[in-house]
Structure formats: structure tokens, C-alpha cells
Amino acid sequence: MSRSAWNDALALLEDDLSRRDAAPRTRRAYGVDLAQFARWADERHLQPQAVGPRDVRRYIALLSEGSAAPSTTARKLAALRALFTSQREHGLIAQNPADLVSTPRRSSYLPRVLKAKEAARLLDAIPADGPLNQRDRALFELAYSCGLRAEELVSLKAADIDYDGEQLRVEGKGRKTRYLPVGEVAMAALRLYVERGRNGLAAPTTPGERAGDPEALFLSKTGKPLGTSDVRRRLRAWAIHAQIPGGATPHALRHSFATHLLDGGADLRSIQELLGHASVSTTQVYTRVESARLRSAYARSHPRA
């Protein structure tokens, strides 16, 4: 059987996602996951219009038997739901077969959180001498001050900083824009980097070489915009330098930002808005972190715990 029916279905979904301005990362992930399902279905001579709930369940069960993590199978099922939603919206099927398949239960996950003193030690260990160190100090001060995702950090433009208002314009998931307050320490690190360090990274190093990206806020030593892998690599190096037990990731800084706000008395709805979560249910993981911390403190301290 020709793969053209699946190619057409995938192309139709890609058009729908582009029209809705879905993030490139989401579109790439859906493309990879759905190409895998298309190969599986094609081997069984199933066209898109012939796939039923039983077929989707069988595929999800196969993934689980192959030791795929619940989060992986949940992601692939979400991609299938998007594909068949596209087919239904265009009148090619009457019902979405993936809607009738339950999402695999994910294991309870408590995010890695740095203690406030650990976060301070990590950031204070980054010196402010030279463009690269000034960049890293500003990068991670901002990550912790605003709770940014790695993707959001590398997507920042120089024009996104409002120095007078001490705030930052961030384009998050789903291309949703939010404005975040920036702490004094992070703002000072940003000013130092922009005024002294960034120009050194953006300037050509050899005659005839093009200057670095004129818009990107955080640049590499060659003047190109940083990637998320660069951010993780640099943070890992500084965590080792600062002797942070267990290391640190950009996501750990984001989780620490939210947990420390909760510890300080911030309400969950405000934390939701600062993190850019679409639903407060996503933010509620931090109440589990706080609850676990309190239970631990109780167990250590109460004479009859």
C-alpha cells in the first residue's frame, strides 16, 4: 500500500499547526512521533480513516511493552489525538479514535529544587570579569529571577528588556507573551552584560567577518545566539565549580524560583502567571514540593512524629 494517505494526513496536520502558530519544537516532535505511528500502521495496511480505538490501544500497549516511559507514551498519544482531530475537523473521519484511549498514568514527579543558599552560592560563584562570564552571570541570574525555561532564555531579544520598568517581555509556549518583574540583582547583572560584555561578543573577530546577531540578547563567543544545549552545558559547569550537590539544570532553577516564591508567601495563582502555565493544575506540583518539605521537617522535629 502506498504511504501517500499517511503523507497527506501528516501534511494536513502540519498546515493546521502552522496556521495556529504552534511552536516549531512542538511541530517537530509531532512529526517524529507520527511518522513512527504511520510506519506501524502502514505495515498493518491501515489507512488513516480505518484506524480505530483498538488500533491506538494496541500501539500504545506496544510502546509500553518496549519499556517506553509513561511520559513518552503520553506524548505520543497527544500527537495522535492532534492528528485525528485534524482529520475530523476536515471531515475525513467522524470520530477521533485516540480520544477513547486513556492516557498512561505518569509516575509522581517532584522537581529538583535548590535550596535558597545553594542558588545564591551558584550565582555568586560566577565572576563578572570578561564578556563570557558577564553573559553567564546575567543569563542565570535572569533564569532564577524570572523562572524562565531554557527555550525562553535563548529566545530573548535585547529589546525585550525594559530597564526603566525593571521588567522583561517573554514569549513562552504557544507564543503567549507575558511581562515579568526582574529583581535588582538580575537587572544589575543584565546591565553590566549589555553595556560591557555583549558588544565584545557581537563584534567581528576578523576583518570582513559579519557581526553577531543584532537582536539576540545572549550570544556565544562567536556572536551567534546561544542554544538551549549551550545554556545547559554552561550551567552544569558552574554548578560543578560551585560544588552544588546533584548539579543544576535550567529547569531546576525554574523550579527553585517557584518553590522559593511559595515559601515566601506568594499565592499559587500569581506563581502560575509568572511561570506562564496555562492551567493552575500544572502549578500545583509546587504544593506537593512544599508539602513534602513540611512533612520532612515535621518528622525531624516533632518528638512523637
Among residues 82, 106, 75, the alpha carbon closest in space to that of 96 is found at 82
**Alpha carbons 233 and 238: distance in angstroms, whole number:** 9
Residue from 57, 75, 88, 173 carrying the catalytic annotation: 173
Evaluated on CA atoms 114, 117, 120, 126, the torsion sign reads: negative
Question: Known catalytic residue: 193?
Answer: no
Spatial contact of 154 and 225, defined as CB atoms under 8 Å apart? yes
Question: Known catalytic residue: 54?
Answer: no
Residue from 76, 135, 137, 149 carrying the catalytic annotation: 149
State the alpha helices, DSSP H only, in 148-284: 150-155, 184-192, 198-202, 228-241, 250-263, 268-275, 280-283
Question: Known catalytic residue: 149?
Answer: yes
Q: Which residues contact 297 (CB under 8 A, 6 or more apart)?
A: none
**Alpha carbons 51 and 94: distance in angstroms, whole number:** 12
**Alpha carbons 279 and 265: distance in angstroms, whole number:** 20
Question: Known catalytic residue: 254?
Answer: yes
Residue from 137, 254, 255, 260 carrying the catalytic annotation: 254
Question: Known catalytic residue: 251?
Answer: yes
**Alpha carbons 108 and 126: distance in angstroms, whole number:** 34
**Alpha carbons 106 and 130: distance in angstroms, whole number:** 45
Task: Identify the bridge partners of residue 167 per DSSP, sorted by sequence position.
Answer: 162, 181
Find cell 499565592 and name the residue.
267
Residue from 121, 236, 251, 293 carrying the catalytic annotation: 251
Angle between helices 285-301 and 268-275 (to 10 degrees): 130
Backbone angles phi, psi at 5, to 5 degrees: -65, -40
Question: Known catalytic residue: 173?
Answer: yes
- Catalytically annotated residues: 149, 173, 251, 254, 277, 286
